[in-house]
Amino acid sequence: MSPAKHIDLYDTTLRDGSQGEGVSFTVQDKLVVTEKLDDLGIRYVEGGWPGSNPRDAEYFEAAKKLKLKNARVTAFGSTARPGKTAAKDDNIKALLAADTSVVTIVGKTWAEEVRSSLRISLAANVDLIGKSIAYLSKRVDEVILDAEHFFDGYATNRDYAMQCLQAAIEGGAKVICLCDTRGGSLPEQITAAVTEVRELGAAVGIHCHDDSGLAIANSLAAVAAGAIQVQGTMNGFGERCGNANLCTLLPNLQLKLGYKCVTARQLRKLGETSRHLYELANMIPDRQSPYVGMSAFTHKGGLHVSAIKRNRASYEHIDPEIVGNAQRVLVSDLSGKSNIEYKAKEFGLDVDNRADELGGLLAEVKKLEKSGFQFEGADASLELLLRANLNGKEAFFKLIGFRVIDEKRHEDEPAQTEATVMIEDPDGNIEHTAATGNGPVHALDLALRKALVRFYPTLSDVTLHDYKVRVLAGEEGTAGLVRVLIESGDSEKRWGTVGVSHNVVEASWQALVDSLAYKLLKDGRSRTRKARAK
């Protein structure tokens, strides 16, 4: 029996994924995620456990108003509790009250867990599974069994684990999803179990955790053995080491193995969807995540960059745009001339027949990197550097001087910081301003923009998103070099800048100046003046 050509993706980010450390979604977040997953073409969106908390109950009520095109919102719960009939069990009642067309219930299939957790006989557990599913199957369109600890149960008491599945099938379960709950199985174990379960005649799903780093491999092994549904979470969110990452599984299934999961247009939304969920979860995206991470198609070594210029397939296994990502080239002390040429063209600079200049630029970049600069996270500073060397530096303003004063008057009062800045614009106009802030960098940022906004009003749109300081290795202790990386942005994009100095305020100044200069470059390198107040 050959594998199906279509695989249903079942997303459990809003339930299993939210059990991950540091992951939490509001009701509004959950609704936004549901719509995002619908746009991505995900078939099932498990919204939560309506019988476990008020937030999930509120979500299911609100989700009824969503206009979904692809996804079927799914309610999750458990079998009836021991000693309760399905009709009188509060958990079953809550599942039905959620009013979803699909219900997934978890049933224990590991004999040891039945004895230790449920504390009932093995036969009684089989009875609970069969009768709970039979009751629900008459009242909703589709019931899925999540066979908890199935692979552990299959390894220690195969006959009992299979008996549990048979009861679910007889009760009317449309899909039997086999759960590697502890994440400890190996692909060959998954293959053997799925192959045998398919002989029961039911549609098989797979739900893997990543405790052994094999959630993706195990999920693919299950599909190869005939599973038609794959459960997972966006970005691999989940308890302990997380769940199978749908951001990796989806392109592997569709691009590598030829299964139909979503449309090509929907697949191009994968990168944006991944980043959006990281943002909602208030987590930093994994740069090295396959397919969707910022580093997934990023090249740094000079030989690599030289190769991808001729044939990008040399170091890229797919076109990154297919999954909503993009090729990136970094410049560092490991770079070759190809890196500089690539970045210059990316910035719109004419570098034809300028090999000698590019060679000099490469030498300068390597010298700066050796002195502590790092341009990997500071593309804006790099662009300013290349433009200054290839086109001549555009001086938007000239620093006459700045001063920063930190003062703490009493032990029980916070420190106060004041910065003063004096600058001269290209026409010789002088502006002298002062500002107070939460610290020296904040105060300096406010004072500098206050001084410049009269000449360049659009600078008021710039926001400082992130600020990092690193003391560079050396033997000078507190007198050593520091590197400051700043991430700034406006309503359209974000950019990074860098500064290096023995003085953290001066390093910050360098990064701040580059940040604002880049904004002016981005706005068209023309100064939009505002009439000075009389």
State the DSSP string of 399-413.
EEEEEEEEE--STTS
416 and 364, same structural domain? no
Residue 211 has pLDDT above 50, yes or no: yes
234 and 350, same structural domain? no
Residue 287 has pLDDT above 80, yes or no: yes
Mean pLDDT of the chain: 89
Report yes or no on 375 lying in a domain.
no
81 and 17, same structural domain? yes
pLDDT value of position 279:
84
Report yes or no on 188 lying in a domain.
yes
CB 299 within 8 A of CB 329: yes
Report yes or no on 267 lying in a domain.
no
Report yes or no on 274 lying in a domain.
no
344 and 251, same structural domain? no
Name the strand (E) or helix (H) holding 469. strand 463-471
74 and 186, same structural domain? yes
256 and 310, same structural domain? no
25 and 140, same structural domain? yes
- Token representation of residue 133: 């599913």
Estimate the share of the chain in helix, then strand, then coil, as percent rounded to the nearest 5: 45, 20, 35
> Which residue would you say has higher pLDDT here, 83 or 94?
94
pLDDT value of position 1:
39
Q: Number of structural domains, the chain? A: 3
Sorted by sequence, the CB contacts under 8 Å of residue 339 that are 6+ apart come out as: 299, 300, 302, 305, 329, 330, 331, 362
Domain of 363? Answer: 298-370
Residue 186 has pLDDT above 70, yes or no: yes
254 and 141, same structural domain? yes
Percent of the chain scoring above 90 in pLDDT: 58
pLDDT value of position 336:
67
169 and 48, same structural domain? yes
- 146-161 mean pLDDT: 97
Percent of the chain scoring above 70 in pLDDT: 94
Residue 531 has pLDDT above 60, yes or no: no
- 396-419 mean pLDDT: 86
Using CA atoms, how far apart are residues 327 and 336, in angstroms rounded to an integer? 17
Give me the CATH number covering residue 455: 3.30.160.270
> For residue 239, what pLDDT band results from cuts at 50, 70 and 90?
very high
212 and 155, same structural domain? yes
154 and 27, same structural domain? yes
- Token representation of residue 382: 């790099």
pLDDT value of position 521:
86
Give me the CATH number covering residue 44: 3.20.20.70
319-337 tens-digit pLDDT: 999 999 988 776 655 566 6
Quickly count: other Cβ atoms within 10 Å of residue 200's Cβ: 13
166 and 75, same structural domain? yes
